[in-house]
Chain A
Amino acid sequence: MKSVSELTDFYYNNLFPTLQKLENSRKSLRHRIIFVAIALTALIGVIAYSLKNYYDFIIFIYIALGALLYKFMIKDYTHEFKMSVIKPLVHAIDKSLLYSSETHVSEYLFEHSKLFTSPDRMSGNDYVKGQIDGINIQFSDIHAQKKNQNSKGKDSWSTIFQGLFIVADFNKHFNGETVVLPDTAQSTFGDIIGHWLQSNNASRDELVKMDDPKFEKEFVVYSTDQIEARYILSHSLMKKLLDFKHKSEHPVYISFIGTHIYMAISYNKDLFEPSVFHSLLDYKVAMEYVKTLHLAIGVVEELKLNQKLWSKV
């Protein structure tokens, strides 16, 4: 697989003509957005001034209309960006991968991962699917939300998870369910109380204490089977997962269910979206696209999922 620096080269060299064209449309788009924003603000201001009432309703209209207009205006630009930048980048990593800018990993798989509570609303985009070294892998951007009702009966939406969701074949056979979550209790409440809280987590299976202190510090493991959890999480895999977590620089959720490994990396923002107010040629902007893609597709190599064991043919 190509390295991050090779991909960055590809971004700047092969994609440069397209990027320049996109950069021009980005600049004019930015001007249009600023113009529309000013016009809308002025219009709403005039309405508010003449009505002198219904302020909260007007603010609501202002925000809703603004968001709608913004979405509508960047739609073409976004589509062009994804087709001429993200798609070639994915193909530069591996030609056989399929990319779709509109779909996402199915809700069934998301719920099946047992990583999060089941969402009431799920959206996502930038779906990539294919085989790397004979291992099936798919991932996409996911935004899962839950509906909350407050005492007045008003609905509000809270985010369960937003970020990258990866599903890949796993190279060992197992029957139980093992879930690895970021360790929040132990780092907030200390070892003793944290452990006690974790072992009494009613919504999860049995707590599994791992014998790698560094891993145990970052993650907490729940499983239906104490031995199987350790069979899956060998010393070498624990080390690789730790490295992966440090590389991603974001909270990582992992589960092993059925024949799959599920990984959710919480970025708390929509990924692979074109920047409107920063240059596409900006190094930081470019690096984010390249690094995130490399991280997701590199999972197979990083975790050595392609080294199949004898028993799994």
Chain B
Amino acid sequence: MPASSGMAGQPSTEYRIKAAFLYNFTSFVTWPDDPAGASGFTLCVLGDDPFGNLLDKLAGKSVNGTQLVIRRLGSLALLDQCKLVFISETSDDQIGGALALLHELPVLTVSDTRGFTERGGIIEFRIIANKVRFDINLNAAESAGLGISSKLLSLATRFRQND
């Protein structure tokens, strides 16, 4: 599986695309207003970072009028501070806990772990015909209070609703 080949050193083409997708998602998803008024848009990676330094290149870019901040988390402790969480495959065992923790919190959860959306994750990367695609769990997004653009929905290979 090429998905794991990017684990060491240089990130693979797949993860270059996925990194870009992560950033692009922010344009098609709307977050509710943050009452805490937290400064910056925090993009977190839970577990091993398969993107190498790609995400660092994105840091400082503008998202919804605020600056993008990258955080790599080893535990679930600060997970609720994130706006977007990428849960890497290596944290498979942590997915259940993370999703439980983030239940109904306005955090966009993304992972390339198979069955992520079935388990309550919002976006799951998939490889179809050698191309990076994604599924969306619309119910999960709605219960998290996130708005997904129809444009994004139209690109999803599948999206789960009212199951």
**A, B bound:** no
Q: Which residues of A contact B (CB under 8 A)?
A: none
Q: Which residues of B contact A (CB under 8 A)?
A: none
